[in-house]
Amino acid sequence: MTDISKKKALKRIVRTITLTEEDLAKLDGIERVIASHGHRIKTDSKLIRAAISIANSTVTNERFNIDEVAQKVIREDGRTLFRTEHSS
């Protein structure tokens, strides 16, 4: 990993969270909307990160683009970065 890659690496924190069935249904709804735009976000952690980004934009009255949110989440996922770095 280069110095630039190290600086750009995201610090990942592991937390245990409790979700209700309603929360999971809402995540499924977010997944469907994102999938309708052509992006596949299948892991709960990526869906939750996308939901946090969308919610943050909403409460701060900022515009957001669902494609940009999805691409950022997918791009920043550690497994995706690992595959990208080693496939070039």
Q: What is the pLDDT of residue 2?
A: 57
The sign of the torsion formed by the CA atoms of 64, 73, 55, 40 equals: positive
Question: Is the residue at 30 inside a domain?
Answer: yes
Question: Is the residue at 25 inside a domain?
Answer: yes
Q: What is the pLDDT of residue 76?
A: 80
Question: Is the residue at 7 inside a domain?
Answer: no
Question: Is the residue at 58 inside a domain?
Answer: yes
Q: What is the mean pLDDT of residues 10-25?
A: 88
Q: Which helix (H) or strand (E) holds 62?
A: none
Question: Is the residue at 32 inside a domain?
Answer: yes
Domain that holds residue 37: 18-87
Looking at the chain, list the stretches that DSSP marks H as alpha helix, in order from N- to C-terminal side.
Answer: 3-8, 21-36, 44-59, 66-76, 78-87
Q: Is this prediction's pTM over 0.75?
A: no
pLDDT digits (tens, 9 = 90+) for 30-42: 999 999 999 988 7
| Number of domains within the chain | 1
Structural Rg of the chain based on CA atoms: 14
Question: Is the residue at 8 inside a domain?
Answer: no
Question: Is the residue at 50 inside a domain?
Answer: yes
Distance of CA 88 to the CA centre of its chain: 23
Question: Is the residue at 10 inside a domain?
Answer: no
